[in-house]
Structure 1
Amino acid sequence: MTIYISEEERICNIQRTFNQQFPHLKLEFYTQPHAHGGSYFGACCLPPDTPIEDIRLMHTFGWIDIGSLRTAAEVEHDFNRLLGLSIQIYQSKDGDWIETTVEDDCTLAQLNAECLDAARKAYRH
């Protein structure tokens, strides 16, 4: 699956599209990028109603591949390299949203399935 991102788009629309594909994952947007495996711990994420044109470092538009076989690191890298957008992927664990810093090399499908399995196990207990 791909997401088309134009300058007129708002963060919330991109987040919604991503979350429809991966219900146990979410995207947060920041003003600065982080290194591979790095964290945004303590940084403030941008409000969902923020227009892309207000935050991107490159004034371009395009498609981002968020296919299930892409890793979190690849998707984060593409947002930054192709569109100048700084994002972090989070996964739902035990009712909290956790950055995928340690799992950056896992695919989106693996990350989503891991959260689903954990939720099923918690439900059974």
Structure 2
Amino acid sequence: MKMLITEEFLVRYIQDEFHICYPHLKLEFFRQPHGLHEGSHRVDKVHPDTHIDEIRDFHSAAWIDFGGYITAADLEDQFTHLLGLSAQVFRKSGNVWLETTETDDLTLGELEERSSYEATRAGIPDNDLNEQT
């Protein structure tokens, strides 16, 4: 899936569209960038009702590809290089959300499959996955 992201978008809209494709993953945005296999600081997390224009470095629209064959690292790099946004992919493990620091090299499809399996194995109902930690 590809999504055209413009300055009018709210962070929440991007997160919701991502969550539709990957119910066991989530996408968060941060005010400070992070490196490959590094986490982001919780205090830098951007509120979902923030306009993209308020947090990005580049003032242009861009198509972001978050198909199942894209790695978490590649998705985060697209946000950084095309829009100047610091994004972090999280995956559901049991009842907690984990940053994909150690699994940045896995594709979104692989991360979704792994998280879906762990959720099923743990007996967590799908409707519980929308709760924030």
TM-score by length of 2: 0.90
Percent identity of equivalent pairs = 40
Q: Equivalences for 1:43-54 in 2 at 5 Å?
A: 43-54=43-54
Q: What is the letter of the counterpart of residue 59 of structure 1? A: H
Q: Equivalences for 1:31-50 in 2 at 5 Å?
A: 31-50=31-50
Q: What is the letter of the counterpart of residue 105 of structure 2? A: D
Aligned length: 124
Q: Residue deviations 1:27-75, cap 9 Å, x none?
A: 1101111111111144331100000010000001011000000000000
Unaligned runs of 5+ in 1: none
Whole-Å separation in 2 of the counterparts to 1:24 and 1:113: 8
The equivalent of 2:85 in structure 1 is 85
Equivalent residue of 1:59, what SS? Answer: coil
Cα shift at 1:119: 1.2
Whole-Å separation in 2 of the counterparts to 1:48 and 1:95: 21
Whole-Å separation in 2 of the counterparts to 1:75 and 1:26: 12
TM-score by length of 1: 0.95
Q: Equivalences for 1:1-125 in 2 at 5 Å?
A: 1-123=1-123
Unaligned runs of 5+ in 2: 125-133
Whole-Å separation in 2 of the counterparts to 1:112 and 1:38: 20
Equivalent residue of 1:80, what SS? Answer: helix
Q: What is the letter of the counterpart of residue 34 of structure 1? A: H
Q: Residue deviations 1:9-34, cap 9 Å, x none?
A: 00000000000000000011011111
Aligned-pair RMSD on alpha carbons?
A: 1.2
Q: What is the letter of the counterpart of residue 48 of structure 2? A: P
Q: What is the letter of the counterpart of residue 60 of structure 2? A: T
